[in-house]
Amino acid sequence: MQNANVSDPSSGAEPAVKPANLLRADDWQFEYRQKSNPANSNLDLLTYGVYRVAPGTSSDELFHRSEEALLFCMTSEPLAVEVDGQGYSMAHYDTLYVPMATPYRIQNPTSETQSLVVCRAPAEKRHPVFHSVWNEFRTNEARIRHLDGKDVFLMFDVTEGADRLMAGYTIYEPYTRAWPPHNHTDQEEIYLFTQGRGAIEVYADEKSKTFVHSMETMDAATIPLLNYHPVFSQEEELHFLWCLAGARYWVGDKHKEFMNASVDELTT
């Protein structure tokens, strides 16, 4: 087959000559910044990172041979993600589940650098792609859990197929704290703070709180098994993304005590 970029000499046409590109040392189009993985986070399953896509560019084909992935859109303008040949437009806070061993590509048609958060966990089965649209889910009461001073939005729930992953967003009113504090015997998590300023404590027991930190936008914390992890908002509304790997349930759907705050602490 004749290469499309090389003219056939027998046609008499002049070869098409394309210009070169100058690539300076700090030029880039696409990058992955790994934030944590099981080797350095005290987690057994979750890997967390951020894709950055330069204006008007595209990633190469991406592929996770033995992991399922969730993509979370942090952009101000929509990105395009192609999964196994199918296109999806992802706007701010949209979520996309990518099955294991499924190729995908990220395109940035905008004039600004844009970012996608990616969380991955080992999987054994392929499940359907699932695209959750924030502007639809944020008003869908079936996807919202209302607690005192905060709302939880289930973006990727047990009703969607996956081996281990679940995820959502929690939005706190100002001067709100998590109550009751809870921990998990069968779920590990990452909390990523996406808007506002707050704080988080992660501890195994009340007497030894060695992890107490203020959190700014795009700060994150890994939460290994059996650690309590209360969050505190300050003078403004606080948003954070939570992604868990393990048994697939949301704590408030499994334990009514979490919803009505009838206990001082809860182990799931």
Which residues, at least 6 apart from 176, have a Cβ–Cβ distance to it below 8 Å?
148, 149, 150, 232, 233, 238
Of 75, 99, 132, the residue at which a domain comes to its end is 132
3-state helix, strand, coil in the chain (%, to 5): 5, 45, 50
C-alpha dihedral sign at 227, 38, 154, 246:
negative
Same domain, yes or no: 177 and 102: no
The alpha-helical segments, DSSP class H, found in the chain are: 134-137, 251-254, 256-260
Same domain, yes or no: 42 and 128: yes
Same domain, yes or no: 148 and 248: yes
pLDDT, residue 3, reads 53
pLDDT, residue 30, reads 96
Cα–Cα distance measured from residue 138 to residue 154, given in angstroms and rounded to the nearest whole number: 9
Element (H, E) at 144: strand 144-147
Same domain, yes or no: 232 and 202: yes
Same domain, yes or no: 115 and 169: no
- Give domain status of residue 20, yes or no: no
Same domain, yes or no: 146 and 247: yes
- Give domain status of residue 5, yes or no: no
Cα–Cα distance measured from residue 52 to residue 33, given in angstroms and rounded to the nearest whole number: 8
Predicted TM-score of the model (pTM): 0.91
Of 132, 158, 173, the residue at which a domain comes to its end is 132
User: Token pair of 7, please?
Assistant: 């003219």
Bridge-based pairing state of the strands 266-267 and 182-183:
parallel
Cα–Cα distance measured from residue 202 to residue 213, given in angstroms and rounded to the nearest whole number: 9
**Full domain range(s) for residue 156:** 134-261
- Give domain status of residue 268, yes or no: no
Spell out, as residue ranges, where the chain has pLDDT lower than 70.
1-11
Same domain, yes or no: 173 and 109: no
Cα–Cα distance measured from residue 188 to residue 185, given in angstroms and rounded to the nearest whole number: 8
Residue type, 161: G
Total structural domains in the chain? 2
pLDDT, residue 184, reads 96
pLDDT, residue 13, reads 79
Nearest Cα to Cα of residue 69 among 165, 186, 140, 199: 165
Cα–Cα distance measured from residue 88 to residue 106, given in angstroms and rounded to the nearest whole number: 10
Same domain, yes or no: 116 and 141: no
User: Token pair of 4, please?
Assistant: 């499309």
Same domain, yes or no: 127 and 156: no
Of 113, 132, 151, the residue at which a domain comes to its end is 132
CA 123 to the chain's CA centroid:
17
CATH number at residue 85: 2.60.120.10
Q: What distances in angstroms separate CA 134 from CA 69, 71, 166, one per listed residue?
A: 18, 13, 15
